[in-house]
A and B are shown apart, each in its own frame.
Chain A
Amino acid sequence: MEPPVIDVKNLVKRYGDKAVVDGITFSVGAGEIFGLLGPNGAGKSTTISILSTLLSYDEGEVKIGGLDLKKGAAGIKRLIGFVPQDLAIYPALSARDNLVFIGRIYGLTGNALERRVHEVLELAELVDRANDPAGTFSGGMKRRLNIGAGLMHKPAILFLDEPTVGVDPQSRNFIFEHIEKLNKEGMAIVYTTHYMEEAERLCDRVAVMDGGKILAMDTVQGLIGLAGAGIIYLGVPCESLETTQRLFQSTENIHAIPASEGRLKIETTRVDEDLLRVIARCKEQNIPILSLELLKPSLETVFLHLTGKRLRD
């Protein structure tokens, strides 16, 4: 079995007394797209910053490409590409000059540099605007250039920190396609996001994070299976909330708990069938249904199952 390109064991990062990354363990295989999914403040960006050599850590062991992060950071920097959440490009410089600068930082010169700049401009579909200042680009174009800058030195591992924030749907699709393409070429990718759709579409495996911990980690299908199939939000009058909850307490495959504002959260493994059952039981007991929301099986429902809150709360 091929050794993982990233191996993280019991990683801890503290700010003062607060552990923002709290003993996480995971590994990423060669050619894998690994997702870190969680809301803002979950510890995803801190984790990716540690793996990108930007932040130190307090406890644990991290190996990237077989190199220990604490001892071999210089070697690791050559293996990895980092695309930060911020648009880390120089708006006054042209797209070409931005890429030339990054290429030189990674030691590219002469024809090799020129060739690579052209390749990345093509990859980012910015050849036509190569000589325009990056500050004049649309949000999507800036994001593409931002990603392109992270690819200049053809890294074996790419860290993408929320790369689609503020991007229009067209550019988002473009980014997805290129990530998939890079992955097919053998690049391992670690992708942080709080958009479950992105994790579902791109990632081979996903670690769900909250409060600095990994709550669950599996393939997307595995995670959905873990959480049950789906969630029904049932809105009833406040005075009927307890009665309604008791109604489903002994029902097979249904788990009902109070949610916010007079709603019950009903987790079920067979959403379609159980939805009809829920409606029928309420009708039998003369409990008026004020609202009904159906969340189909997804990472969103997994997150709800694991944390009791939505990803974008």
Chain B
Amino acid sequence: MIINQIFALTWKDLKLFFKDTRAMALIFLQPFLFIVIMSYALAGLYGSGGKPLQMLAVNEDGGKEAENVIKGLSGLKGFSVQTAWEGAPLTRVKAEELITKGTRSLAVIFPPEFSSVLEQLPTKEDRPTAKVLLMVDPATSSAVTDPVLGTLQGLVERAAFTAMMPRGIDYLFDHYNMTDMQVGRNDFKKKAEDSISGGLLGGEEKTVTVEKVTPRAMKVAKFPDSFQQNVPGYTIYGVFWIASLLAASILREKREGTFTRLMAAPVSKAVVLTGKLIPYYLINILQIVIMLGASALLFRMSFGHSVAGLAVTSLVLAASATGLGVFISAFARTEAQATSLTVLLLLTLSSLGGCFVPRFIMPHALKVIGLITPHAWALDAFQDLIVRGYDLTEVIPKICVLAGFAVLFFVIGVGRFRFE
């Protein structure tokens, strides 16, 4: 009897569950989508079939040494080095432009004097030095740039050592009496070290250094810290959760009949809907202020130079999130459906939009798909302002796209909205 009853109860709930397509989507489709998106997005970092990290290489060097380093870099697994763009050899200006536009995020620039510095006679006095530049988009996580910097440093040092060693040995033969070798063994070793390295390895100042820089168009006083890189993404992720609250509230009003009462009162539908949206919009703005304000106070996070840019981006971001709430409420019939639809949408949009994983390390297809999320545009606008040092006028195109999402959500949501 008891077994039968348990069986009956189990059967009933399974049947109810499998009749609820939205619940099934939440349980099965949402984790699956998340797995697929995150796995593809992170493929570049973990190397599981992902594409190599794309890097531009500008060779201004008149000699052969930079070419050797570039070859070494190209031969490394995980790097894809481009020395030309659209058929023409890459220039510093072009590389800077591509990074500024966000087409690429890394470029290594070898200066004209690179070979001559490496091929100099290694003496300690009056050595010329060279600086290899790693130009990066400051929004690129240091988790990506630091290993690149280390790899480049190693390759450059090896190139320098390889170039200097023969000259060092020549110098040794020229300046040392070889007949004394057996007598002054230790003295010989000391001179040999100085001759070969020329202080490159042991000296206070390196002959060739590698320095991380940003494009000149970006007004970056210093490289962003992890808060500046992470806070915008997680803020945007959090902001869009207002959509869940708004949609559930609208559906609750429909269920409880309070919308019906309002419709019988001398108040237009537009006014009811506006009155419904404004509080959530204000809550959204308060949420952004608290999240950014807390980051500033607790983590001493800097927000770039443009307060106006931050304010306008935040206002449009909040409008987009509120619009998504109306959009969801127009498609969901119950509060439970609204919640599951929100979870499904927000995790997908946040992942594709780069809130969890930087978009630049995603495969090209995901990067393109990411552009149809408001998250990607909002994140890019925030990173332009906070990390890249841009001001309001420079982020207006991205804000306009974000506003476009807000308008689209409102138009579809309001168009399908039913007060009954």
Contact = CB atoms under 8 A, between A and B. Distances in A.
Interface of A: 52-54, 74, 77-78, 80, 82, 84-91, 102, 105-107, 149-150
Contact of A149 (B261, B266, B267): B261
A89 B265 CA distance: 14
Nearest to B258: A88
Interface residues of B, number: 12
A89 B258 contact: yes
A77 B257 contact: no
B262 A82 contact: no
Given A86-B256, A88-B256, A88-B257, A80 B267 contact: no
Interface string B373-415: 0000000000000000000000000000000000000000000
A53 B267 contact: no
Contacts of A77: 264-266
Given A88-B258, A89-B258, A82 B264 contact: yes
Output the residue of B261, B262, B267 with the most chain A CB within 10 A: B261
A88 B253 CA distance: 8
B266 A87 contact: no
Contact of A90 (B258, B265, B267, B420): B258
Contact of B266 (A74, A86, A88): A74
16 contacts: A77-B264, A77-B265, A78-B266, A82-B261, A84-B261, A84-B264, A85-B257, A86-B256, A86-B257, A86-B260, A88-B261, A90-B258, A102-B265, A105-B267, A106-B265, A107-B266
B266 A106 contact: yes
A74 B420 CA distance: 19
Given A87-B256, A90-B258, A52 B264 contact: yes
A86 B259 CA distance: 11
Given A80-B264, A86-B260, A149-B261, 12 more contacts: A53-B263, A54-B260, A54-B263, A54-B420, A77-B264, A77-B266, A82-B260, A89-B256, A89-B258, A90-B258, A91-B256, A105-B267
Contacts, number: 47
Contacts of A87: 256-257
Interface in B80-125: none
A82 B264 CA distance: 7
Nearest to A79: B266
A290 B258 CA distance: 51
Nearest to A83: B261
A101 B262 CA distance: 10
Contacts of A74: 266
Interface in B254-284: 256-258, 260-267
A88 B256 CA distance: 6
A173 to B, nearest CB: 24
A90 B263 CA distance: 15
A52 B420 CA distance: 14
B257 A84 contact: yes
Contacts of B258: 88-90
A105 B256 contact: no
Nearest to B260: A84
The 7 closest A-B pairs by CB, nearest first: A86-B257, A82-B264, A88-B257, A88-B261, A77-B266, A52-B264, A88-B258
Nearest to A55: B420
B265 A105 contact: yes
A87 B260 CA distance: 11
Nearest to B263: A54
Contacts of A78: 266
Contacts of B263: 53-54
A84 B267 CA distance: 17
Nearest to B264: A82
A86 to B, nearest CB: 3
A88 B260 contact: yes
A77 B269 CA distance: 13
A8 B261 CA distance: 22
A84 B255 CA distance: 12
Contacts of B261: 82, 84, 88, 102, 149-150
Contacts of B420: 54
B257 A54 contact: no
A74 B266 CA distance: 6
Output the residue of B257, B260, B265 with the most chain A CB within 10 A: B265
A77 B256 CA distance: 21
B262 to A, nearest CB: 7
